[in-house]
Amino acid sequence: MKKPKLSIRVFHFSDYCAYLKAAYDELCGHDPSVSFRKLQKVAGYSETSNHLWMRMHGHAPLSQQAAQRYARVFGLKTREIQFFMLLAAMNQAKTDEDRNAYLEQMMEFREFRESRINNPADYYSPWYLPILRATVGLDDFKEDPAWIAERLLMPITKKEVEKGLQKLFAIGYLVRDERGSLRLSSPFVGAYEDRHDPDPITILNMRNYDRAMIELAHNAVGKQPQSQKFIVGNTLHISRRQALAMRDIVRKCLREIEALASKDEAVEVVYRVNMQLFSLSKWTDEEQK
């Protein structure tokens, strides 16, 4: 089989299954004789199995050896192979700690970093970007990193503020008005709809962001006066149907809070609204489906 030269770049993918599908489709477009069996044989696997199809569709794990073999079949070069193996490892990691470690290694590849530049999906990375964006909405906002760092309760450096504002502007969440001042491009970003984003890296960034927001809430428990915080909750024994119904109630509540925040009043402080609903007892395997 002649070594293929594909137009797609592996560095532009955040899901190894999506890359395998795209590479296979393009290869078939160039050569109608291409088949799963043919590619498996070239990779060193049995022609009679469905080895590639199973891994392409996420029905079986892609080992590092298999990732390397199929990367070569699709004509990837040394650095591309290294990246693809990291991508497969990141997608299949069991913990976010491992996923973050693999993602950090992936970010060392210039081509991948450049593919994520100005990507709105990276709004949650680093985690303090949404906070900086909200700060720009204050009536007395000053485009001064030192002023912003001093105004916020969380620890953040002037350099982080500067880079954060630059990124928010680059990905379109901040704009400049006719006087050249920074302004919000839209009143609200994110909330409940973001949870449906299929991009694995965006999902990971959102989970990192959620942990950071919960940590800020943890710190507020002992540091902020009662007049500036409102932290309540309840532990309940309920049906699974009620648990799902509560999600809808939480979504509705958040929409009402956003509607209240959009009213034309003085914008004086930045607040975070955390809403957590999680199980404290195990669900059976059937229930989890």
CA distance 67 to 50: 15
Categorize the per-residue pLDDT at 260 as very low, low, confident or very high, splitting at 50, 70 and 90. very high
pLDDT of the residue at 196? 64
User: What's the whole-number mean pLDDT along residues 259-268?
Assistant: 93
CA distance 133 to 127: 11
* pLDDT above 80 for 3: no
pLDDT of the residue at 99? 98
Categorize the per-residue pLDDT at 175 as very low, low, confident or very high, splitting at 50, 70 and 90. very high
253 phi and psi, to 5 degrees?
A: -60, -40
**What is the per-residue burial (b if ≥16 Cβ within 10 Å, else e) of 62-101?**
beeebbbbbbbbbebeeebbbbbbbbbbbbbbeeeeebee
pLDDT of the residue at 55? 97
Categorize the per-residue pLDDT at 288 as very low, low, confident or very high, splitting at 50, 70 and 90. low
Report the chain's mean pLDDT, rounded to a whole number. 92
Amino acid at 41: K
Least confident of 92-106, 132-146, 180-194, 267-281: 180-194
The conformation of residue 92, written as its DSSP 8-state character, comes to: H
Q: Which residue has the tokens 């990193």?
A: 145
User: How far from 9 is each of 38, 41, 79, 90, 189, CA to CA, in Å?
Assistant: 22, 24, 12, 18, 30
Categorize the per-residue pLDDT at 1 as very low, low, confident or very high, splitting at 50, 70 and 90. low
CA distance 2 to 27: 11
pLDDT digits (tens, 9 = 90+) for 12-32: 999 999 999 999 999 999 998
Q: Are 168 and 116 in contact (CB under 8 A)?
A: no
pLDDT of the residue at 121? 77
Considering only residues 206 and 10, tell me which one the structure prediction assigns the higher pLDDT: 10
User: What's the whole-number mean pLDDT along residues 111-117?
Assistant: 91
Counting residues of the chain whose pLDDT is more than 90, the rounded percentage is 83
